[in-house]
Structure 1
């Protein structure tokens, strides 16, 4: 996006050659670059020093132009429309209420949060699509999962925009089952097909493997002296328990949102049991706040509600198991939890339970 001499904004796709164009941010003249094999764009001359319009990769230029083309079908779409109030330039602005961002390069969590908050201050909803490098990274990498979003129809999801051919890819119903991240994946050649998919319920019930596998994994992490697992083991020791013998209720529900690691989930559940055992009460409101502060997912505007749901699910299981009662947001100790003497005894209990 650039400015004409009469202060009108214009896209590189429709700009005429031979005219003078200016950067809407620094007012310096910019060059129109458009050719048979080059995605149309405006570029600063070298050493201008403007932070807007920095060099972009071919992938990013092609991707945001594809998004702009696809968005034309949904109404008014502006490519790189500059938002003066927050000094941000989204890749595509659709109908002045939806922002589409195509992220190919690394982005710090701090900067990501700033950009999200900027859009929200203008009551703009943003969807972030990730490039090829993100698609190839380890599925559980924090650099990828920080872009986690949520819709009731597809659950927790990540969007990608990939080339050759240009297509949308969605990983949806992302769930952590014990220590494994699972998801479903679909590909779409048009934005309209993706939108139609998002508008209809797509959720299915994930398959849950034997709990003995997870029990073996925890014991393996102890042998490898995983710092987080060793620390949790020490916490259990202080209360005269073994981590390997923690009650079966510590593992339910088995399928949870991918907001943190498997050890994080096990840790706070065990901490609740230990607090009930010693203090005979747990304030669920305080617990939700503590857990929420340990999470950072900028696209989950209602993160507090997501955490509240997972805490309440665990509280419900404790009540159903007869270990606690709940009044309002206070959980009260009902009876002592059954801690196993060792991992062998616990595996036998798991096997007997799974046979039922």
Structure 2
């Protein structure tokens, strides 16, 4: 991509233009090169170097940066592409109004590297917006651990992840992300063509029933039992462990009440399947139906706590956030309604 003049419009190398163009990173002149074999591209003049724009970027990443720059510019924002933040030794994909660092993440990034960048922006008092590309969209349903580090917990919309859709040229929010044991990740989706509309949505503080996560349906429970049956037939190691635990308690895996498999869509918190602690905890409670709250807390500490592995996420690393999520799960699991079904 290149820029027409110093403050001009960004254009792609696929666009044939006679305008004089410059590199949006270093503002030095570039020329368009196109041939019969290689895709069109912009190149710096001979003997000129530029460290502003990253090498080896994917087509989606380059296109997304162009779209985002134009998207913000059209709405009156000041946009800088890959402007070096010298004090931080960082260079965001876009810098909006000199304060908002926008990163369009299409390639894998380690938890450590992500944390370093986020801490760097925080230290420089920059707001930050992480938008994911299509590679993370494809993984969304199958690999929660791949997107967990980008999850933002919103007071109204629960667990959220932000995407930039190159195909639709809009910002997409996946919100109320929830998990149900043995089922794909569930979420709601909303797209925004304008930055102002997204800001209004994101700044909402009143919880609407439309955005609350609901109860697990009977159809979903049937799907869960089919998955358990499949695991038994195919000798799945995890399913066999659960079956053995049930045998020891003189019951069968297929006889577990629906609520043990999960009767609410829960926000993501743990790496492992939550049945790994729900089943043994239920079996303990089944053997001690009159247990006091103190005894239930002790059972939680003994059975559940040693198994918990938290998803890699900045907010989930906070003690207060962990305590809140554990409290919600504990209270719901040991509810009076569940006790009646023992």
CA spacing shift, 1:209–1:180, aligned 2, 3 Å:
farther
- Tell which deviates more after alignment, 277-286 or 92-101: 277-286
Q: Quick check: 1:56 aligned with 2:71? A: no
1: distance between equivalents of 2:151 and 2:22? 43
Q: Quick check: 1:184 aligned with 2:188? A: yes
CA spacing shift, 1:206–1:128, aligned 2, 3 Å:
same
CA spacing shift, 1:156–1:260, aligned 2, 3 Å:
same
- Which runs of structure 2 are paired with 1:49-88 in the superposition (5 Å)? 53-72=54-73, 73=75, 76-88=78-90
- Tell which deviates more after alignment, 288-297 or 121-130: 288-297
2: distance between equivalents of 1:196 and 1:39? 39
State the partner residue of 1:156: 159
State the partner residue of 2:232: 222
**Would the aligned equivalents of 2:270 and 2:309 in 1 still touch at CA under 8 Å?**
no
| Cα displacement (A) at 1:296 | 0.9
- Tell which deviates more after alignment, 282-291 or 136-145: 282-291
CA spacing shift, 1:215–1:125, aligned 2, 3 Å:
farther
2: distance between equivalents of 1:127 and 1:170? 12
State the partner residue of 2:200: 196
Q: TM-score, normalised by structure 1?
A: 0.66
RMSD (Å) for aligned C-alpha atoms? 4.6
CA spacing shift, 1:44–1:291, aligned 2, 3 Å:
farther
**Would the aligned equivalents of 2:82 and 2:93 in 1 still touch at CA under 8 Å?**
yes
State the partner residue of 1:90: 92
2: distance between equivalents of 1:168 and 1:241? 50
CA spacing shift, 1:209–1:234, aligned 2, 3 Å:
same
| Cα displacement (A) at 1:102 | 0.6
- Which runs of structure 2 are paired with 1:1-356 in the superposition (5 Å)? 32=30, 53-72=54-73, 73=75, 76-137=78-139, 139-142=141-144, 143-178=146-181, 179-200=183-204, 203-206=211-214, 208-210=216-218, 211-237=221-247, 242-246=252-256, 248-260=258-270, 264-273=273-282, 280-282=295-297, 293-298=309-314, 300=315, 304-321=319-336, 338=342
2: distance between equivalents of 1:247 and 1:214? 12
CA spacing shift, 1:138–1:174, aligned 2, 3 Å:
closer
- Tell which deviates more after alignment, 102-111 or 71-80: 71-80
Alignment length (residue pairs): 311
CA spacing shift, 1:19–1:108, aligned 2, 3 Å:
closer
CA spacing shift, 1:137–1:233, aligned 2, 3 Å:
same
Secondary structure of 1:180's aligned partner: coil
CA spacing shift, 1:20–1:54, aligned 2, 3 Å:
closer
CA spacing shift, 1:82–1:216, aligned 2, 3 Å:
same
State the partner residue of 1:354: none
| Cα displacement (A) at 1:227 | 2.8
2: distance between equivalents of 1:280 and 1:45? 76
2: distance between equivalents of 1:20 and 1:163? 22
2: distance between equivalents of 1:83 and 1:94? 13
CA spacing shift, 1:191–1:19, aligned 2, 3 Å:
closer
Secondary structure of 1:65's aligned partner: helix
Residue deviations 1:134-163 (CA, integer Å, cap 9, x gap): 334452323345432222232222222223
Q: TM-score, normalised by structure 2?
A: 0.69
| Cα displacement (A) at 1:257 | 1.4
CA spacing shift, 1:70–1:139, aligned 2, 3 Å:
same
Secondary structure of 1:171's aligned partner: strand
The answer for unaligned runs of 5 or more in structure 1 is: 1-9, 24-28, 325-334, 339-356
2: distance between equivalents of 1:235 and 1:129? 43
State the partner residue of 1:341: none
Secondary structure of 2:55's aligned partner: coil
Secondary structure of 1:282's aligned partner: helix
- Tell which deviates more after alignment, 271-280 or 302-311: 271-280
1: distance between equivalents of 2:318 and 2:312? 9
| Cα displacement (A) at 1:295 | 1.6
